[in-house]
């Protein structure tokens, strides 16, 4: 019986880390390294062409700001797991990473064996973070849930409650089918709603919807509970 292997791609600015991880990962029978590069204008195309299961980043400026590679992967509809490795103990960066869609967060003092475990875990559908950040994650989730139940969103674009729900789910990079399943709507109805939202907010794509609505609502878009 053949072993089902995890396809990993490294988008790492640190050449030493990149080369070290490639050597470690290539020794694992269940992991294939599909590519290992520094960031460039064609990075997203190269990642897409390699079609990896897991993408590792070593730079918050590449993954979360500037090119915002994690968000762009998600909003391109690419079902890839993002892992950030070699990170500092920075709670704000960690929470931003979670909000952007990162599902694995590894600190700079992690061992190679720990990084391998994280790759396997996220490929299996799990999320992994340092234990010291767990409380922050629970507190953040509790605040957002409280907000969604108690505070109506006010967005100047004139979005309806249903459209606000969709913005929150678009932010989670869900497909039209997944959004429809959550809200008990057909895919076509979801598609129609999204077209109306694009017109109302003046956006060109789904990512821009999220960015514009975040800027108008104080940087927070919360998926409200379905009616």
Each residue of 43-97: pLDDT tens digit? Answer: 999 999 999 999 999 999 899 888 889 988 877 766 799 999 999 888 889 988 9
Total count of domains within the chain: 2
For residue 18, give the CATH number of its domain.
3.40.50.2300
Model pLDDT for residues 132-173, shown as the tens digit of each residue:
888 887 877 666 544 444 444 445 678 888 888 888 888 877
- Domain around 12: 6-132
Binning pLDDT at 50, 70 and 90, where does residue 222 land? very low
For residue 84, the SS3 value is strand
Check if the beta carbon of residue 14 is closer than 8 Å to that of residue 58.
yes
Picking from 85, 41, 222, the residue whose alpha carbon sits closest to that of residue 145 is 222
Helices (H), the chain: 15-25, 43-50, 60-63, 69-75, 91-100, 112-123, 134-150, 161-171, 176-183, 187-201, 206-216
Residues 155, 204 within the same domain: yes
Query: Is residue 85 assigned to a domain?
Result: yes
- Please check the confidence at residue 101 and state whether its pLDDT lies above 90: no
Tens digits of residue pLDDT in 11-37:
999 999 999 999 999 999 999 999 999
Distance CA 6, CA 211 (A): 32
Model confidence pTM above 0.85: no
């Amino acid at each position: 019986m053949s072993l089902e292997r995890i396809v990993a791609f490294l988008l790492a600015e640190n050449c030493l880390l990149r080369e070290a991880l490639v050597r470690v990962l290539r020794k694992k029978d269940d992991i294939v390294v599909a590519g290992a590069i520094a960031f460039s204008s064609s990075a997203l195309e190269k990642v897409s062409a390699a079609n990896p299961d897991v993408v590792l980043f070593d730079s918050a400026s590449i993954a979360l700001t500037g090119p915002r590679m994690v968000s762009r992967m998600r909003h391109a509809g690419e079902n890839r797991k993002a892992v950030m490795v070699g990170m500092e103990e920075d709670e704000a960066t960690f929470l931003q990473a979670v909000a952007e869609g990162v599902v694995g967060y590894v600190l700079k003092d992690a061992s190679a064996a720990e990084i391998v475990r994280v790759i396997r875990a996220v490929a299996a559908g799990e999320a992994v973070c340092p234990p010291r950040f767990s409380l922050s994650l629970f507190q953040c989730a509790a605040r957002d849930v409280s907000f969604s139940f108690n505070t109506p969103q006010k967005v100047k674009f004139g979005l309806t409650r249903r459209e606000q729900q969709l913005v929150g789910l678009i932010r989670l990079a869900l497909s039209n089918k997944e959004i429809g399943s959550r809200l008990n709507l057909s895919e076509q109805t979801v598609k129609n709603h999204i077209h109306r939202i694009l017109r109302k907010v003046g956006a060109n794509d789904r990512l821009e919807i999220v960015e514009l609505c975040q800027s108008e609502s104080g940087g927070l878009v919360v998926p409200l509970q379905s009616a």
